[in-house]
Amino acid sequence: MSAARPRVTYVLPDKLGGVVSIVSDLLRHGNRDAFELDAVLVDPLLGIDARFGGTLPADRQSTLAHSLPVENLYAVLARLHRLIDPGPGILVANDWLELALAESTDLGQGVVQILHGDYDYYYDLARRHAGVVDRFVTYSQAMYRNLLQVLPERAADIRYLPYGIAIPETPRRPAAGPLRLVFCGRLDPQKGVGDLPKIAARLEARGDAVTWTIVGDGPDGPALRREWTAPNVTWTGALSHERAVEVVGQHDVLVLPTRAEGFSVALLEAMASGVVPVVSAIETGMGEVVNPSTGCLAPVGDIDGFAAGISGLVGDRPRFERMSAAARETVSARFDIRERSRDYDALYAEILAQPRPKLRPARVSYGSRLDRPWFPNPLVRVVRTPLRWWRLRRARPEAR
């Protein structure tokens, strides 16, 4: 039975990171007088990313577990379809699987795609599924400009809607002693984590007193821990979102030598607590909130630039405290989730009031010849499982 209120269903990867944080806040602060708010977590059983595995503040939460690419894609899409209420509403797509469902099935609902990074991956998804997407959401100005270039004919449907975060009631507490540095994120090359011990070495050579806390884990974690064994480094491993925000807020400086971002959730959450950012000067998002009054920008991969930025804060605590207050004020004024969630609610209401005609359902452009609606899923699994094992063995001869 469909609810009297239309449903907004967020489909998202069951993976720790910024997407879960953003959707969680939108669910918590969404307009429940106007909408039922649902969440479907997509759990790739063959994936290697750290799972979220928690409870979202949704009216209804469900999980789609799948074994792609071993399974028949259409069998997985059918299971996803059963988790989405058939009544009027909005499907909020955060990745490819739900867009493939909208492509292959007439859901009778509006579709919103949120682009979560300034990567070809998200722009390609927007281009591929433009026919079934009612509105595209970009949350940095650079992503907005780039998507306009990709889909100029859809300019009226591309929106710049910054997401919001919960603003802590109290800021970080100043502390005497070494400046407390923190990195928060996935330990992988994209985040530039290999630069962290090099920056630490430059600071040590300068004689700057600092401590480091590394929040998160990932594929580069084991090697980084073996390389970086200094006594002033603490490793927390992967934490829940709530705990990670708490830990970051107990520090002074966020160090983020990332190579690519959408619009970093960790950056905004750190600044909201008064933690001063020293981050890569990438186009998407950083310069929208980080300037000489709120933090430091350094060229990507510039070890000396990062060390100089941190060292300047170590040597001038009054300046640092002014920047801390300005960072918190900037985020509080522009990214309070209580304000930003209203923009998303208004977008959903707009789509429901003026639905856009969709293309007829089509065969999705994913998978292989075994991905057909009429192929039994057990048969596809029987064929693909040994093929996958054989390919993995060829790719990793050391496993033989």
pLDDT average per 10 residues of sequence, the chain (400 residues) = 79 91 94 96 89 92 96 96 93 97 93 93 96 94 94 97 92 92 93 96 96 94 94 94 93 94 87 96 82 95 96 94 96 94 96 84 82 87 74 50
Query: If you compute the radius of gyration of the chain from its CA atoms, what whole number of angstroms results?
Result: 22
135, 26: one domain: yes
Please tell me the predicted confidence (pLDDT) of residue 103: 93
185 and 78 in one domain?
no
For the entire predicted model, the pTM comes to 0.85
- 32 domain residue, yes or no: yes
Same domain assignment for residues 245 and 358: no
How many folded domains does the chain comprise? 2
CA distance 278 to 181: 10
- How much is the pLDDT for 115? 96
Q: Which two tokens stand for residue 296?
A: 């430091």
Looking at the fold, whether 225 and 113 belong to one and the same domain comes out as no
Q: Please tell me whether residues 55 and 199 are part of one structural domain.
A: no
Same-domain pairing of 122 and 228: no
Q: State whether 158 and 11 are in the same domain.
A: yes
Query: Could you tell me if 123 and 245 lie in one domain?
Result: no
234 and 296 inside one domain:
yes
From 39, 29, 35, select the one nearest 7 (Cα to Cα). 35
Regarding whether 210 and 131 lie in a shared domain, the answer is no
The predicted structure's pLDDT at residue 399: 41
User: Is position 169 within any domain?
Assistant: no
First-to-last C-alpha distance (Å) of the chain: 53
What is the model's pLDDT at position 400? 39
The answer to the question of residue 388 being in a domain is no
Residue 393 has a pLDDT of: 57
Residue 115: give the domain boundaries. Answer: 7-164+338-383
* Nearest of 74, 343, 364, 50 to residue 186 by alpha carbon: 50
Instruction: Please indicate, yes or no, whether residues 322 and 257 belong to a single structural domain of this protein.
Output: yes
pLDDT at 136: 98
Q: Where are the beta strands (DSSP E) in the chain?
A: 7-13, 36-44, 60-66, 89-93, 110-115, 135-138, 158-160, 179-184, 210-215, 233-237, 253-256, 276-280, 296-298
Question: Is residue 29 one of the residues assigned to a domain?
Answer: yes
**Cα–Cα dist 307/312, whole Å:** 9
Specify the CATH number for the domain of residue 56: 3.40.50.2000
Q: What is the dihedral of CA 239, 242, 244, 246, to 10 degrees?
A: -140
Domain end, chosen from 311, 335, 359, is at: 335
Same domain, 140 and 193: no
